[in-house]
Amino acid sequence: MKPRLSKIDVFSIVLGSIIGWGSFMLPGTKFLKEAGVINTTLGLLLGALFIIVIQSSYYIMLENHNDEGGEFSFAYKYCGRNHGFIVGWFLLLAYLTIIPLNGTAFPLVMRKIFGDVFQFGYLYSIAGYEVYIGEIIVSSLIVVLFAYVNIKGIKESAKVQNRIALTLVLLVFSVFIAMFMKVDRTNFLNNYIYNYEFKLGEVLKVFAITPFAFVGFDNIPQICKEFDFGAKKASVIAVASVSIGSLMYSILNLTTALVYSPEEAAALDWALGTGVLATLGRFGFLLLVIALSAAVTSGINGFMISTSKLMGAIANHHMVPKRYAYVNENGVFKNAILFATAISLIAPWFGREVILWIVDMSSLGAAIAYFYVCLIAFRLGDTLFRKIMSVLGVIASILTIALLLIPSSPAALGKESLLALVLWIVLGVVFYIKVVSSFKIQTSKDNG
């Protein structure tokens, strides 16, 4: 019998996927300047509640559907091939982009430690971001490393994830406590507390990115065949992971706010790191960098797992070549892992800004998947409470999609992200017509 994942294994995979590069960078680049401390915390709390509401529909999915591919295979089963493809196509976007996002973040971590050592072999500049062959090599090596770990089997990757996630949580809380005890909190109170004003627009700006921030919780249905406990325990793990993830996002934002005003934080390359270095010195900064490294690598590992499961499931449903459904002696979709690795190795050549444009629209892909799960869960729900929760999930998903797409929304996607979205949709239509339809015809002939 192949090794099964324990509850701790699943928790580590989910939490490690939730806490990535963004949790360490967003305080300076987005949270403080756009929403401050309290409104950011409210936005994250609202987002966590949104995911918890969505999770009630995922509970119904896990009760009624035990197949790899999660939302994709669930939509395929209950809504048909076309809707299944839509969910799979957008969910694949959300998963695939997060691997190179974290992969290209690793050279930035190295910059914090070694300066410009890896900034050699200048190639070109895209959207103001300079691309260096040295940093491409660093990004590629870390992605290849975790591809190797995952090809060895999910239990091996879970063992690695356990250590990474534990390190991440301990160091984040340790740095926060040390900062809180050492800083003069007068400026913090003046900047964020005494003059606080509730603004719904600021809260919604943070809320709109929570599908991206917490997308790691849906690793659970992707790996449902790898553990042998029920839907109730799996849901408890998902809720706990989202709750702790929201808390850690808020704590990292608060840690930054203890040192800098919104304007000061926005002017810095890495506000959180600069503040920790100035307050705690090199040792505290080293702890933070180790935590950041843990967040980056856990994100790569977690989404490498999910992408391979999703890709393998899509192949099993005859929507991509059957070779991606190949399972090696370790029980993993080896070719699907290699596909995710290949995409992740190409992405760094386009520069990090281009990756960020694509990542910005990954919240939309996740929200579309959530919408379908909640809609199907409403049909399957056997109690009034479950149906109400599913309806709330549908409404919240539509609200998130609207916040991202309506131009006047405070969280509307930028023109670059919208262009990338249009290209992804066009590519999906072409792929469906040219490839998926041909598989469908061939499958019908084979069955005939």
How would you label 262-277 residue by residue, b for 16+ Cβ within 10 Å and e otherwise?
A: bebbeebebbbbbbbb
Residue from 266, 216, 279 nearest 246 by CA: 216
- The residue count of the chain comes to 448
What pLDDT is attached to residue 153? 84
Does 212 have pLDDT greater than 80?
no
The answer to whether 218 touches 210, Cβ cutoff 8 Å, is: no
Q: How confident is the model at residue 443 (pLDDT cuts 50, 70, 90)?
A: low
How would you label 216-238 residue by residue, b for 16+ Cβ within 10 Å and e otherwise?
A: bbbbbbbbbbbbeeebeebbebb
Q: Mean pLDDT across the chain, nearest whole number?
A: 87
The model's pLDDT over 304-347, given as tens digits with 9 standing for 90+, comes to 888 899 999 998 988 888 889 898 888 889 999 999 999 889 88
Which range (55-64, 84-93, 202-211, 240-249) has the least confidence?
202-211
Does 249 have pLDDT greater than 70?
yes
User: Distance (Å, rounded) from C-alpha 121 to C-alpha 205?
Assistant: 38
Instruction: Give, in order, the Cα–Cα distances in Å from 36 to each of 20, 53, 224, 251.
Output: 21, 26, 38, 13
The model's pLDDT over 253-281, given as tens digits with 9 standing for 90+, comes to 999 999 999 999 988 878 899 999 999 99
Q: How confident is the model at residue 447 (pLDDT cuts 50, 70, 90)?
A: very low
Over residues 212-237, the mean pLDDT reads 85
Helix (H) or strand (E) holding 126: strand 122-126
Which range (158-167, 192-201, 210-219) has the least confidence?
210-219
The model's pLDDT over 373-416, given as tens digits with 9 standing for 90+, comes to 999 999 998 899 999 999 999 998 898 888 888 888 777 888 88
What pLDDT is attached to residue 75? 94
Which value, in Å, is the radius of gyration of the alpha carbons in the chain? 21
Q: Show Cβ contacts of residue 200 under 8 Å, excluding neighbours closer than 6 positions.
A: none
What pLDDT is attached to residue 438? 67
Over residues 182-204, the mean pLDDT reads 91
Residue from 338, 301, 296 nearest 159 by CA: 301
User: Distance (Å, rounded) from C-alpha 396 to C-alpha 403?
Assistant: 10
Kindly report the pTM of this predicted structure.
0.86
User: Distance (Å, rounded) from C-alpha 72 to C-alpha 372?
Assistant: 9
What domains sit in the chain, N to C, each tagged with a CATH number? 7-442 (1.20.1740.10)
The model's pLDDT over 122-166, given as tens digits with 9 standing for 90+, comes to 999 988 888 999 999 999 998 998 899 889 888 888 888 888 888
User: Distance (Å, rounded) from C-alpha 378 to C-alpha 375?
Assistant: 5
Helix 231-257 and helix 7-18, axial crossing angle in degrees, nearest 10: 40
User: Distance (Å, rounded) from C-alpha 195 to C-alpha 191?
Assistant: 7
